[in-house]
Chain A
């Protein structure tokens, strides 16, 4: 065989094996697991469509989905508005610009576990920072993590705090790619600053907005450490996420088949949501 082909095969063999074992096999096996019942200790048994049937009527699963959509309903608009505002603020000659940017970006590099623990302290009802600040202006205390209606929104705010810096950088790059002459042109045409933003800047930021929405959505469906540490999924399962539920099924209840079913369902739901989002944002571009 040709020497180049030999080298190529040799150099990529480990990667190919890896893909087989840790990518292709798991994908295939996940579908197999759906029809199995297995606790990892005894031998797996065939369960037919039991797992799927269970999923369809599983109140916890649907509650977790509702929780996730609530999370997204708050997190997505918040993320876009805050990131865009901060990026707009940074898109000008500024003193210490690198400092502001680094400040907003700091939570992005910090581990999710740390951020979650930090916010468990911030949100603590009695000794937390937020209620402490509110007390200074005679407000609260707010039961951030113990009130079923407030807990998920509280997590949504925390998630925004953690990630917005990343999207500030993304939007900033987008803002800087809008030609200055376009702004000048529309200004001469009589547009106010807001009109210029709405008719020129915003439409040209469509790709960035799509990215924000896509990544934040995926992030929202992948929530795990936040409910795990902050609330354990409560109160009243109002912060239960699908991934947390999946983890419990695998680790605590040892129901591999059902856990895999949850995983597959989640993957399909994410795909569907992303497609819909792309349609909505993509088509808005035409108007």
Chain B
């Protein structure tokens, strides 16, 4: 009996986290009169909210922008980041210890400190309203490099030595020897980086004003600030939010283990 009560309480807790999403989805199909109701099914379902949303702002374009930016950043962090991590871990070169120290030190600096100076830099470079502004400042990630470096340190030296004897260059070694062994940390870094880039909103709000270049969360934010607070506006805003939420929820449903393990393990180790 106690077990049953326990599960009921758990279910209520889970509902607290899940139900709002369901309600949000339901509301997007409701006409203004029904908005605000608690039922999950509309009496007179309508696609008006989606039509309005799609027409008012370039959400399709924003989706593409987000994909482009997030993918580019993730690829850059994985490829260039692992090259840097590999060098820091296994190669000896002048300046290595300084680079290591700076990498760690950089993590201690809060983002707020560098936000404004970076913004002025972007303006001075003439990168306002460009993909460069959205991608380049995130091309490398100190946390990712540290995670990968830590992992690379554990690869047995003998593997590198035999690869070198086979005549492989460093890049070859990195991609043909280290990468296959590093699927777990690479996946973890990939997921965290992608999610971070996908959800980033403050930076785009600073450096991008052109609607055609806005990322999806950014466009969503801008869109939701306009309009009033009436039921139709509410439903339309939620419809816009659905564009951002649905792909993530779908991915999460199938990959939740990877999401949770990747995102939380940095916390558990740190």
Contacts and interface: CB of A to CB of B under 8 A. Distances in A.
Nearest to B119: A250
A21 to B, nearest CB: 7
Nearest to B91: A8
A14 B201 contact: no
A118 B249 CA distance: 15
Contacts of B35: 127
B229 interface: yes
Interface of A is mostly: helix
B13 A114 contact: no
Contact of A170 (B86, B92, B169, B264): B264
A49 interface: no
B38 A136 contact: yes
B170 to A, nearest CB: 4
B190 to A, nearest CB: 14
A4 B37 contact: no
Contact of B38 (A6, A16, A133): A133
Contact of B140 (A19, A113, A270): A19
A169 interface: yes
A6 B91 CA distance: 10
Interface residues of B, number: 92
Interface in A222-280: 222, 224-225, 228-229, 242-243, 246-247, 250-251, 256, 259-260, 263-264, 266-267, 270-271
B245 A114 contact: yes
A69 interface: no
Contacts of B260: 101-102, 105, 169
A7 interface: yes
A72 B110 CA distance: 18
Contacts of B220: 113-114, 117
Interface in A1-43: 2, 4-9, 11-12, 14-16, 18-19, 21-27, 29-30, 33, 38, 40
Nearest to A131: B36
Contact of A129 (B38, B86, B268): B38
A263 B116 contact: yes
A113 B221 contact: yes
Interface string A96-131: 001111111111111111101111111010111100
Nearest to A24: B102
B113 A267 contact: yes
B241 A114 contact: yes
B224 interface: yes
A20 to B, nearest CB: 9
Interface stretch (B150-158, B179-187, B231-239): B231-239
Contacts of B139: 18
Nearest to A243: B112
Contacts of B201: 111-113, 224-225
Interface string A165-180: 1100110010000000
Given A30-B117, A117-B238, A266-B110, A14 B36 contact: no
B238 A251 contact: no
Contacts of B205: 247, 251
A174 B221 CA distance: 37
Contact of B221 (A16, A108, A228): A228
**Interface centre among A7, A14, A267, by most B CB within 10 Å?**
A7
A8 B199 CA distance: 33
Contact of B198 (A111, A116, A267): A111
Given A7-B169, A113-B220, A118-B21, A104 B14 contact: yes
Contact of A105 (B24, B27, B218, B256): B256
B248 A111 contact: yes
Contact of A263 (B115, B136, B238): B115
Interface in B206-237: 206, 217-218, 220-221, 224-225, 229, 231, 234, 237
A197 interface: no
A165 B116 contact: no
B144 to A, nearest CB: 11
B23 interface: yes
B54 interface: no
Contacts of B10: 89, 94, 100
6 contacts: A11-B170, A18-B139, A21-B121, A111-B198, A169-B268, A256-B119
Given A100-B10, A117-B237, 13 more contacts: A16-B99, A26-B113, A26-B121, A89-B10, A98-B256, A100-B14, A102-B260, A103-B14, A110-B248, A112-B217, A136-B38, A250-B119, A251-B205
- 3 smallest CB-CB distances across A and B, nearest first, come from A8-B93, A127-B36, A8-B91
Interface of A: 2, 4-9, 11-12, 14-16, 18-19, 21-27, 29-30, 33, 38, 40, 86, 89, 94-95, 98-114, 116-122, 124, 126-129, 132-133, 136, 161, 165-166, 169-170, 173, 211, 215, 218, 221-222, 224-225, 228-229, 242-243, 246-247, 250-251, 256, 259-260, 263-264, 266-267, 270-271
